[in-house]
């Protein structure tokens, strides 16, 4: 991935941080993008301390203007964006019967609309270069559903549909668009779940362990590589056999 620039949204923590560090180790220049300025700086410093190249960019995925500005800022420091990883995501869980429209709109705005706008911002440069990799982070629940997450599930199912639509639209320009659908990944977010919830999840996982952010990052690294040039419109499930 030498001489390639990868912009990773939600790169300030968890899965996004692991993706950024893994792509950096493979030789890519990383744009560390999130709405957490301090953590962006920390991740950037970690990558650079390991011999990689990175710089931070603030982005609010609910704001079309912020997304445009983030890409413009990135292109002041990098010649182009070769790889886009749409990882930024939020949850606002609740039973569908009681879910407020604000909760629905917020989750769809970040997880789906924000990802679409980031794709839009990245694709013009990729089309010009006739090379690009877009990797969207979906979720196992986007394929199997999950109670109390109608907004999140809809956003991640939408990501899968968006991935397939863009894969067809951009293939003639040598741009691949794929998705990675993680299962239960051990992060700061999932660490806060009650033990009974974790136990119930573990019972459904064939490999009998929770995934790591690095497991997801490895799949992203492959899809962003030259070796994945003949794969597009595909969803790689990284879920330990939780859903087959």
Q: Where are the domains of the chain?
A: 5-235
Distance CA 128, CA 126 (A): 5
CA dist 172 to 32, 117, 125, 136, 224, Å? Answer: 29, 21, 14, 19, 17
Q: Do the Cβ atoms of 148 and 95 come closer than 8 Å? A: yes
pLDDT tens track of the chain, all 244 residues?
999 999 999 999 999 999 999 999 999 999 999 999 999 999 999 999 999 999 999 999 999 999 999 999 999 999 999 999 999 999 999 999 999 999 999 999 999 999 999 999 999 999 999 999 999 999 999 999 999 999 999 999 999 999 999 999 999 999 999 999 999 999 887 888 889 989 999 999 999 999 999 999 999 999 999 999 999 999 999 999 999 9
Q: Which fold has domain 5-235?
A: Rossmann fold (3.40.50)
**Catalytic positions:** 152
């Amino acid at each position: 991935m030498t001489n390639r620039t990868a912009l990773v949204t939600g790169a300030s923590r968890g899965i996004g941080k692991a993706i950024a560090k893994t792509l950096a180790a493979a030789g890519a220049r990383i744009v560390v993008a999130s709405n957490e300025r301090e953590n962006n700086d920390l991740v950037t410093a970690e990558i650079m301390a390991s011999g990689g190249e990175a710089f931070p960019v603030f982005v609010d995925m609910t704001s079309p203007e912020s997304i445009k500005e983030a890409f413009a800022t990135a292109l002041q420091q990098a010649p182009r964006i070769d790889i886009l990883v749409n990882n930024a995501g939020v949850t606002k869980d609740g039973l569908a019967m009681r879910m407020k429209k604000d909760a629905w709109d917020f989750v769809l705005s970040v997880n789906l609309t924000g990802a679409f706008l980031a794709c839009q911002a990245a694709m013009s440069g990729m089309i010009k270069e006739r090379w690009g990799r877009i990797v969207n982070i979906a979720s196992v629940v986007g394929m199997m559903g999950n109670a109390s997450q109608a907004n999140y599930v809809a956003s991640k199912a939408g990501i899968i549909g968006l991935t397939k639509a863009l894969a067809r639209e951009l293939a003639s320009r040598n741009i691949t668009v794929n998705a990675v659908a993680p299962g239960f990944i051990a992060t700061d977010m999932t660490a806060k779940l009650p033990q009974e919830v974790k136990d119930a999840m573990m019972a459904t996982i064939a490999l009998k362990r929770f995934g790591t952010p690095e497991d997801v990052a490895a799949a992203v690294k492959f899809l962003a590589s030259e070796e994945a040039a003949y794969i597009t419109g595909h969803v790689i499930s990284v879920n330990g056999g939780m859903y087959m």
